[in-house]
Amino acid sequence: MPQSYEYDVLIIGSGAAGLTVALNLPEHLRVCVISKAEISSGATLWAQGGIAAVLDDTDSVENHIQDTLNAGGGLCHEDAVRFTVEHSKESIRWLIDSGVKFTRQDDGEDYHLTREGGHSHRRIIHAADATGHAVSTTLADQARARPNIDLKAGRVAVDLITNRKLALPGNRCVGAYILNLEDNHVELFRARFTVIATGGASKAYRYTTNPDGASGDGIAMAWRAGCRVSNMEFNQFHPTCLYHPHAKSFLITEAVRGEGGVLRLPDGSRFMDRFDDRAELAPRDIVARAIDHEMKRLGADHLYLDISHKPADFIKQHFPTIYEKCLGFGIDITRESIPVVPAAHYTCGGVVSDERARTDVNQLYVVGEAAFTGLHGANRMASNSLLECLVYGRAAAQDIARREADIPPPPSAPDWDESQVRDSDEDVIISHNWDELRHFMWDYVGIVRTTKRLQRAKHRVDLLSREISEFYSNYRVSNDLIELRNLVTVSDLIICSALQRRESRGLHYTLDYPGLLNDAQDTLLVPTNYRTPTP
């Protein structure tokens, strides 16, 4: 029989955002953290560059705020930017107190700060070039040591449970149905509070720097539960993903350019100064479009990122992970350029939330890449994402702690019903639809868009949505089916958002509307089951 669980707080996702929430909750609360694979297996683990924060006397909160606003293409919410930056230093201090070993200067006294695109100062604190690994593993170890936190790996969320689904009054989330990948049974998790920390949706694209689990699960589940989403058209493409037939989803951190790396054409010439005065230190959207433009102009499969002019010891010290990874593919970055190509990297839009990480559904929170806080605007500035996870994760935990005495236990809910479905004998449909989706999203909804391409993508996603809905209704759920269902939902949200934006702003660039509108507005999508949230 499938298991049934009850907790005070259910956290879906075990990256920096989810674990930050768990570790900042009062220890008398019973907390469960759900992870698709191992606890330290999400996007956080692979983050290389670092975390942006005001840590140097020559820097200031106002500088960081202004840099973020400049990068965001006029769509950042200044109150969200200020809230995030003003809490940056204390969030980094919390990580240090939790045991994260950041890289120090050669004298061992101060922490080494690097600079990345869009930043006017050195403010990126890092652990060599594997910051995400240091943060993820440290927080996971801390969570394992907490007796009130249950870590349940090998589970994928199917859908949220709300009062409406239970035919009860009110607009409250009371848990989720979760597929146990070990026995393929759907388990019931009831909770007083539920937190979405599932990451982004870059697996909607053919090429991505993200791990396999980045299938937009939380965004899709929240949309189905009645939450608004915003700015889904702003998909950040990392300019420099390692181009090699055997290298899967390995990005070359922006810090390589921050430390002097230059982009080159196949003939060895530089080109970024023709696109922006900041050259290699321009924001990511500009760099990605420049690379995409040059690749298409030349008919090239990839371009090159070169830092070999720096001393070999400097490269090995600052980028040991990249050096070893490339060397494993026969590329010595101390002597030769790195072949690179842009790849889908970060979902700037997401589920609408406030400064306490609350969504439109009561007792449902969202933190990290799945959330739309207003911080990133039309283009995320480098290394603000992990900071957002920390600041809003801590804010969500504080809000739950403040409210928990007033929230009653969750109501009873039925077990998942498998009596009307059967095992699939047509899994080829799932794999075919998965490939089709990711190909047309890459071709039609990629770095450069047109209205005709977007309309073609909309037509295809509508067909896929009907096919998958029928498949979902008749067969037992599987991880692949759940992810495909969610990716189709999120892809539709991306396409609808992109069709609404009739201008080129930030990460959304369309040949049909190359200019900017005078009035910068968020793209807001409202589900048919939306209800105005209660205070």
Residues annotated as part of the active site: 284
Query: DSSP letters of 92-146?
Result: HHHHHHHT----B-TTSSSBPEE--TT-SS--EE-STT-HHHHHHHHHHHHHHT-
Joined together, the tokens standing for residue 94 give 């919390």
Is the Cβ–Cβ distance between 230 and 349 less than 8 Å? yes
**Nearest by Cα to 37 from 193, 155, 131:** 155
Kindly tell me the sign of the dihedral angle through the C-alpha atoms of 53, 55, 60, 61: positive
Token pair in block for residue 445: 């909804």
Distance CA 255, CA 317 (A): 13
For residue 267, what are the contacts with CB-CB under 8 A and spacing of at least 6?
none
Q: What crossing angle do the helices spanning 88-98 and 78-86 adopt, rounded to 10°?
A: 40
Residue 204 CA, chain-centre distance (Å), reads 12
What φ, ψ does residue 292 adopt, rounded to 5°?
-60, -40
With CA atoms as reference, report the closest residue to 376 among 67, 87, 98, 127. 67
